[in-house]
């Protein structure tokens, strides 16, 4: 009987030690967000005189990049320049702006300040709303994108 009590005591002590060790273990590291440039040099891109710039940093081997380019292309107008910057064609720009994920979409104002960005392919509605909101703050309901104010 005393062996049984000792065995139970050992199991309880082992459980307490395991619980204490589990609490001391640090939380799993969180994933950092992909870096997005805060400022662009407008002369690095076509049509630097156009007031607004939408850049799709892409890859020619990326299917979702083609979808992002198609959604962004619709925004081209005399007020909005849209440019696809594929890594295979312009690795210098991907390196200069520390682009690590494709597609990365940035919306820059006339001074090159990035006003909104997406890392992935947004819905057309979110992308178009982000451009509208950047150009005319307060003009759209909130959407799922990063807006700098």
For residue 82, being part of any structural domain is answered with yes
For residue 24, being part of any structural domain is answered with no
For residue 29, being part of any structural domain is answered with no
Q: Where residue 48 sits, what CATH number does that domain have?
A: 3.40.30.10
For residue 14, being part of any structural domain is answered with no
Q: What is the pTM of this model?
A: 0.74
pLDDT tens per residue, the chain (149 residues)? Answer: 777 676 676 667 677 777 666 666 566 666 667 889 999 999 999 999 999 999 999 999 999 999 999 999 999 999 999 999 999 999 999 999 999 999 999 999 999 999 999 999 999 999 999 999 999 988 776 644 454 43
Q: What is the spatial distance between Cα 93 and Cα 86, in angstroms, rounded to a whole number?
A: 9
pLDDT score, position 47: 96
Instruction: Count how many domains the chain has.
Output: 1
For residue 83, being part of any structural domain is answered with yes
For residue 36, being part of any structural domain is answered with no
For residue 7, being part of any structural domain is answered with no
| 42 CB-near residues (< 8 Å, 6+ apart) | 48, 53, 108, 110, 111, 112
For residue 52, being part of any structural domain is answered with yes
82, 71 contact by CB (below 8 A)? no
DSSP track, 76-130:
-SSSEEEEEEETTT-HHHHHHTT--SSSEEEEE-TT-BEEEEEES---HHHHHHH
Range of the domain at 55: 42-147
């Amino acid at each position: 009987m005393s062996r049984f009590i000792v065995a139970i005591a050992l199991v309880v002590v082992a459980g307490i030690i395991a619980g204490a060790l589990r609490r001391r273990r640090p939380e799993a590291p969180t994933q950092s967000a992909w870096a997005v440039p805060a400022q662009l040099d407008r002369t690095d891109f076509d049509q630097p005189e156009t007031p607004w710039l939408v850049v799709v940093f892409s890859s020619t081997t990326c299917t979702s990049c083609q979808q992002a380019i198609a959604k962004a292309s619709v925004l081209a107008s005399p007020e909005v320049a849209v440019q696809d910057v594929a890594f295979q064609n312009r690795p210098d720009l991907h390196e200069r702006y520390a682009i690590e994920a494709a597609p990365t979409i940035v919306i820059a104002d006339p001074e090159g300040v990035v006003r909104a960005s997406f890392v992935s392919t947004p819905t057309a509605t979110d992308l178009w709303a982000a451009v509208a909101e950047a150009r005319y703050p307060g003009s759209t309901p909130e959407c799922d994108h990063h807006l700098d104010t």
